[in-house]
Structure 1
């Protein structure tokens, strides 16, 4: 079961989806500690919370994204879901292909050797 997610427009034109508990841990708890005495902080909080929405995966592993987020991220027909750390990135397939190259071959070649971990199966 995937559970409830908090979704919002992410960076580079994708949608970020966080499990609710991760959202609380990563954002809500930390943001509640900020002083709202400055206009910049209040504006940032409004943008973040105002654009975040709750949704959930169904039993078949599908998620219904709000139309506003689909439009903002240009997701039309096909989407790619990528798990990165404790969140999902949801991309329009065409935009994903542009961002990563159509095949995605050689992605590990872009990382410095000390950042790679070898796995044996």
Structure 2
């Protein structure tokens, strides 16, 4: 699992050094270090180890293609996806269009989110966390009203 967050930097060529625990997680799942990067819904880039990405694509194959929302979601995620591979130094190259999409510049945050990780513009990440912190009680109450059970 990918957990925690760390402050990182992009090098001038657009490469990102993954922390050792993320590299180990990727390599424990996929020997050749392949990762699928794609745009996500929050204005960041999401990295999936290939075994997890295969499950994401399979879930679209099961979806109702007559529903335009499913087609739009599939188009958004899959057309934005690019396979990258860890290099010998533990870096991945973030493609230019994904750097543009997520406004990734030199200062980044790498955030673990279970079976995937996210790459954020540092300013956007910190603002998002601040906003979530301001509304956390209301969000938890609303989820409880819906019957959603989360162990904290």
TM-score range, shorter chain: 0.7 to 0.9
Displacement of 1:95: 1.7
Cα distance in 2, alignment partners of residues 84 and 47 from structure 1: 20
Matched, 1:54 2:102: no
Structure 1 segments, 4+ long, off by >4 Å, are none
Please state whether the residue corresponding to 1:12 is helix, strand or coil. coil
Once superposed, what is the RMSD of the aligned Cα atoms? 2.3
Structure 2 length-normalised TM: 0.60
Partner of 2:73: 44
Please state whether the residue corresponding to 1:23 is helix, strand or coil. helix
Displacement of 1:60: 2.1
Partner of 1:8: 38
Given candidates 40, 44, 49, the residue that maps to 1:19 is 49
How many residue pairs get aligned? The number is 107
Cα distance in 2, alignment partners of residues 65 and 89 from structure 1: 12
Partner of 1:33: 62
Structure 1 portions without partners, runs of 5+: 102-106, 117-121
Given candidates 117, 137, 144, the residue that maps to 1:88 is 117
User: CA distance change for structure 1 residues 83 and 67 in 2, over 3 Å: closer, same or farther?
Assistant: same
Higher normalized contact order (CA 8 Å, seq sep 6+, divided by chain length) = 2
User: CA distance change for structure 1 residues 100 and 41 in 2, over 3 Å: closer, same or farther?
Assistant: closer
Cα distance in 1, alignment partners of residues 42 and 73 from structure 2: 18
Displacement of 1:39: 4.1
Structure 1 length-normalised TM: 0.74
